[in-house]
Structure 1
Amino acid sequence: RIIDATIDLIADEGLASVTMQRIAEQVGSSNALVVFHFRSKENLFRAVLQYLSDRYDELWATLVRAPGLSPVERLLGAVECARGFARQHPK
Protein backbone atom coordinates (compact mmCIF):
# COMPACT_ATOMS: atom_id res chain seq x y z
CA ARG A 1 0.00 0.00 0.00
CA ILE A 2 2.77 2.46 0.86
CA ILE A 3 4.59 1.84 -2.41
CA ASP A 4 1.39 2.10 -4.47
CA ALA A 5 0.47 5.34 -2.71
CA THR A 6 3.95 6.70 -3.32
CA ILE A 7 3.73 5.89 -7.03
CA ASP A 8 0.37 7.68 -7.26
CA LEU A 9 1.62 10.73 -5.38
CA ILE A 10 4.79 11.03 -7.46
CA ALA A 11 2.70 10.82 -10.63
CA ASP A 12 0.18 13.38 -9.39
CA GLU A 13 2.37 15.85 -7.51
CA GLY A 14 5.94 15.31 -8.71
CA LEU A 15 8.89 13.75 -6.96
CA ALA A 16 10.03 16.91 -5.17
CA SER A 17 6.58 17.54 -3.67
CA VAL A 18 6.09 14.12 -2.10
CA THR A 19 6.80 13.90 1.62
CA MET A 20 6.76 10.99 4.03
CA GLN A 21 3.92 12.74 5.87
CA ARG A 22 1.89 13.05 2.68
CA ILE A 23 2.44 9.36 1.92
CA ALA A 24 1.33 8.44 5.44
CA GLU A 25 -1.83 10.52 5.03
CA GLN A 26 -2.54 8.84 1.69
CA VAL A 27 -2.47 5.35 3.24
CA GLY A 28 -4.21 6.40 6.46
CA SER A 29 -1.18 5.74 8.61
CA SER A 30 1.22 7.66 10.77
CA ASN A 31 4.40 9.27 9.51
CA ALA A 32 6.28 7.25 12.14
CA LEU A 33 5.13 3.97 10.59
CA VAL A 34 6.30 4.99 7.11
CA VAL A 35 9.63 6.16 8.50
CA PHE A 36 9.95 2.94 10.53
CA HIS A 37 9.54 0.81 7.41
CA PHE A 38 11.75 2.81 5.04
CA ARG A 39 13.92 5.03 7.29
CA SER A 40 14.10 7.81 4.69
CA LYS A 41 12.39 9.23 1.64
CA GLU A 42 15.37 8.13 -0.45
CA ASN A 43 15.00 4.53 0.74
CA LEU A 44 11.28 4.61 -0.02
CA PHE A 45 11.92 5.93 -3.53
CA ARG A 46 14.53 3.20 -4.04
CA ALA A 47 11.92 0.64 -2.96
CA VAL A 48 9.47 2.11 -5.47
CA LEU A 49 12.04 1.85 -8.26
CA GLN A 50 12.86 -1.72 -7.26
CA TYR A 51 9.17 -2.63 -7.19
CA LEU A 52 8.57 -1.19 -10.66
CA SER A 53 11.74 -2.78 -12.01
CA ASP A 54 10.70 -6.18 -10.64
CA ARG A 55 7.24 -5.90 -12.23
CA TYR A 56 8.81 -5.00 -15.58
CA ASP A 57 11.29 -7.88 -15.33
CA GLU A 58 8.46 -10.33 -14.63
CA LEU A 59 6.58 -9.16 -17.68
CA TRP A 60 9.76 -9.23 -19.79
CA ALA A 61 10.50 -12.80 -18.72
CA THR A 62 7.03 -13.89 -19.77
CA LEU A 63 6.85 -12.05 -23.08
CA VAL A 64 10.45 -11.96 -24.32
CA ARG A 65 12.55 -14.61 -22.59
CA ALA A 66 10.09 -17.48 -22.79
CA PRO A 67 11.73 -20.56 -24.31
CA GLY A 68 11.01 -21.40 -27.91
CA LEU A 69 10.18 -17.91 -29.14
CA SER A 70 11.38 -16.87 -32.57
CA PRO A 71 13.26 -13.57 -32.99
CA VAL A 72 10.10 -11.98 -34.38
CA GLU A 73 8.06 -13.23 -31.42
CA ARG A 74 10.70 -11.84 -29.05
CA LEU A 75 10.55 -8.45 -30.75
CA LEU A 76 6.76 -8.42 -30.62
CA GLY A 77 7.00 -9.51 -26.99
CA ALA A 78 9.30 -6.58 -26.21
CA VAL A 79 6.77 -4.16 -27.69
CA GLU A 80 3.92 -5.83 -25.79
CA CYS A 81 5.99 -5.73 -22.61
CA ALA A 82 6.31 -1.95 -22.84
CA ARG A 83 2.63 -1.56 -23.69
CA GLY A 84 1.52 -3.95 -20.96
CA PHE A 85 3.64 -2.24 -18.34
CA ALA A 86 2.24 1.14 -19.36
CA ARG A 87 -1.29 -0.24 -19.03
CA GLN A 88 -0.55 -1.72 -15.60
CA HIS A 89 1.15 1.47 -14.39
CA PRO A 90 -0.44 4.32 -16.35
CA LYS A 91 0.99 7.00 -14.11
Structure 2
Amino acid sequence: MEKVMDVEDVFESKEYGTIIVGLSPVLSSVNKIGDTIVVRTPEHKELGLKVVSVQVSNSPTDKKMVGICLGNSIKPIDIPLGSVVYTIS
Protein backbone atom coordinates (compact mmCIF):
# COMPACT_ATOMS: atom_id res chain seq x y z
CA MET A 1 0.00 0.00 0.00
CA GLU A 2 1.14 3.54 -0.74
CA LYS A 3 0.23 6.45 1.52
CA VAL A 4 -1.80 9.16 -0.21
CA MET A 5 -2.57 11.59 2.63
CA ASP A 6 -3.59 12.19 6.22
CA VAL A 7 -7.28 13.05 6.61
CA GLU A 8 -7.49 16.70 7.67
CA ASP A 9 -11.21 17.26 7.10
CA VAL A 10 -14.29 15.10 6.63
CA PHE A 11 -17.71 16.39 5.69
CA GLU A 12 -20.94 15.35 4.04
CA SER A 13 -22.49 16.89 0.96
CA LYS A 14 -26.19 16.30 0.26
CA GLU A 15 -25.37 15.78 -3.39
CA TYR A 16 -22.10 13.81 -3.17
CA GLY A 17 -22.08 12.04 0.21
CA THR A 18 -18.95 11.81 2.36
CA ILE A 19 -15.82 13.68 1.28
CA ILE A 20 -12.36 13.39 2.87
CA VAL A 21 -9.72 16.08 2.36
CA GLY A 22 -5.98 16.27 2.96
CA LEU A 23 -2.63 17.42 1.60
CA SER A 24 -0.48 15.14 -0.50
CA PRO A 25 3.19 16.09 -1.07
CA VAL A 26 3.23 14.20 -4.37
CA LEU A 27 0.43 13.11 -6.58
CA SER A 28 1.93 9.82 -7.68
CA SER A 29 -1.12 7.64 -7.28
CA VAL A 30 -4.38 9.44 -6.73
CA ASN A 31 -7.18 7.00 -7.36
CA LYS A 32 -9.61 7.02 -10.21
CA ILE A 33 -13.36 6.62 -10.01
CA GLY A 34 -14.21 3.08 -8.94
CA ASP A 35 -10.81 2.34 -7.39
CA THR A 36 -10.62 1.13 -3.81
CA ILE A 37 -8.69 2.95 -1.08
CA VAL A 38 -7.92 1.92 2.47
CA VAL A 39 -8.56 4.38 5.29
CA ARG A 40 -6.70 3.43 8.48
CA THR A 41 -8.15 5.13 11.54
CA PRO A 42 -6.07 6.23 14.56
CA GLU A 43 -7.48 3.11 16.31
CA HIS A 44 -5.89 0.98 13.52
CA LYS A 45 -9.23 -0.01 12.00
CA GLU A 46 -8.96 -0.44 8.22
CA LEU A 47 -11.83 0.59 5.96
CA GLY A 48 -11.86 -0.45 2.30
CA LEU A 49 -13.84 2.19 0.38
CA LYS A 50 -14.70 2.85 -3.28
CA VAL A 51 -13.73 6.20 -4.81
CA VAL A 52 -16.67 8.06 -6.36
CA SER A 53 -14.61 11.06 -7.53
CA VAL A 54 -11.34 12.89 -6.87
CA GLN A 55 -10.56 16.60 -6.97
CA VAL A 56 -7.03 17.98 -6.81
CA SER A 57 -5.83 21.57 -6.42
CA ASN A 58 -2.57 23.26 -5.47
CA SER A 59 -2.15 24.53 -1.93
CA PRO A 60 -0.21 27.71 -1.06
CA THR A 61 2.68 25.49 0.11
CA ASP A 62 2.92 23.84 -3.34
CA LYS A 63 1.45 20.59 -2.10
CA LYS A 64 -1.60 19.01 -3.63
CA MET A 65 -4.93 19.46 -1.83
CA VAL A 66 -6.86 16.25 -2.48
CA GLY A 67 -10.59 15.74 -1.97
CA ILE A 68 -11.86 12.18 -2.32
CA CYS A 69 -15.60 11.65 -2.56
CA LEU A 70 -16.76 8.35 -1.08
CA GLY A 71 -20.47 8.76 -1.81
CA ASN A 72 -23.02 7.40 0.64
CA SER A 73 -21.07 4.23 1.47
CA ILE A 74 -19.91 5.68 4.81
CA LYS A 75 -20.81 8.53 7.18
CA PRO A 76 -18.31 11.27 8.13
CA ILE A 77 -18.49 10.24 11.79
CA ASP A 78 -16.93 6.87 10.85
CA ILE A 79 -13.72 8.53 9.56
CA PRO A 80 -11.92 10.36 12.38
CA LEU A 81 -9.50 13.20 11.67
CA GLY A 82 -5.97 11.90 11.62
CA SER A 83 -6.91 8.78 9.67
CA VAL A 84 -4.50 7.88 6.87
CA VAL A 85 -5.49 7.11 3.28
CA TYR A 86 -3.63 4.46 1.27
CA THR A 87 -3.90 3.14 -2.25
CA ILE A 88 -4.07 -0.58 -2.88
CA SER A 89 -1.21 -1.67 -5.12
State if a TM-score over 0.5 links the two structures.
no
The TM-score, its normalising length taken from structure 2, stands at 0.26
More strand by share: 2
- Please say which structure displays the higher CA radius of gyration: 1
The TM-score, its normalising length taken from structure 1, stands at 0.25
Structure number with greater CO (CA < 8 Å, separation at least 6) is: 2
